Amino acid sequence: MSSHYQKAYFLLSVAEVQQLPPDQGVEVAIVGRSNAGKSSVLNKITHKGLARVSKTPGRTQLINIFVLDEQRRLADLPGYGFAKAPAAAKAKWQKTIDLYIRQRESLKGLLLVMDIRHPLKTLDRHLLDYCEHRQLPVHILLNKADKLSKTGVLKTLQEVKKELAIYENEITLQSFSALKGDGVKELHLFLNKWYEY
Ligand SMILES: Nc1nc2c(ncn2[C@@H]2O[C@H](COP(=O)(O)OP(=O)(O)OP(=O)(O)O)[C@@H](O)[C@H]2O)c(=O)[nH]1
Ligand SMILES: [Mg+2]
């Protein structure tokens, strides 16, 4: 059922992990390179207009917390890999994400959003290495699938899957289009498991 997700509402934005809401229940975080479509994915799985979608990459600099119910949250994390970001901002991102993943006990797993045309970039791999180290489950969305043919989508899914075989933590993947809505049902079903709906 997608109704759980349609009820989502924005709670707050924080710059520091210390400002996050109480660490209880289940939290799922959306991560990925700047411009991969994190905010668009969030809108698609909840409702339109929840997260701001920007045309300028690197807009989401804060951790935005959305609430599904008292025990379930979604966190939209700042995007990484924005070439024009100052070094200080990049360092800050790394520190924040590192702290967040390390300390957040309610964090059930990461939704890693990648542009299907540019999967597994260096920073995505760093993040996956880190998640493996911390034994954190990751569900990968190959977003913007509308930009490829059906064959192209299947081919990329296979190639990425092959590359993920080296990881020992739980990693799953699917194609997605925040534009067209392809993959939403599959993602809801997947999230239902993490949220124990
Ligand atoms: N064609 C296509 N475009 C998409 C899709 N998802 C997102 N976009 C576009 O990609 C751009 C970036 O989307 P955002 O959702 O703002 O990306 P983001 O990852 O949240 O970006 P930051 O917050 O800057 O890190 C926007 O112009 C979106 O309209 C998709 O599935 N297909
Ligand atoms: Mg965003």
Atom of ligand 1 nearest to the CA of 40: 15
- Please state, in angstroms and rounded to a whole number, the distance separating the CA atoms of residues 41 and 111: 10
Pocket test for ligand 1, best of 54, 114, 149 (most atoms within 8 A of CB): 54
Each of the 197 residues of the chain gets a pLDDT tens digit; together they read 578 999 999 999 998 899 999 999 999 999 999 899 998 999 999 987 787 766 566 555 788 899 999 999 999 998 888 777 788 878 888 888 889 999 999 999 999 999 999 999 999 999 999 999 999 999 999 999 999 999 999 999 999 999 999 999 999 999 999 999 999 999 999 999 999 99
Residue 175, both tokens: 């194609």
Residues near ligand 1 (Cβ within 6 A)? 32, 34-40, 53-55, 57-60, 79, 143-144, 146-147, 177-179
Domains of the chain as residue ranges with CATH? 3-195 (3.40.50.300)
What's the CA-to-centroid distance between 60 and ligand 2, angstroms?
5
What's the CA-to-centroid distance between 175 and ligand 2, angstroms?
19
pTM of the model: 0.94
Residue-by-residue DSSP string for 149-196: -HHHHHHHHHHHHHHHTT--S-EEEEE--TTT-TTHHHHHHHHHHHHT
Atom of ligand 1 nearest to the CA of 58: 24
According to DSSP, residue 130 is labeled H
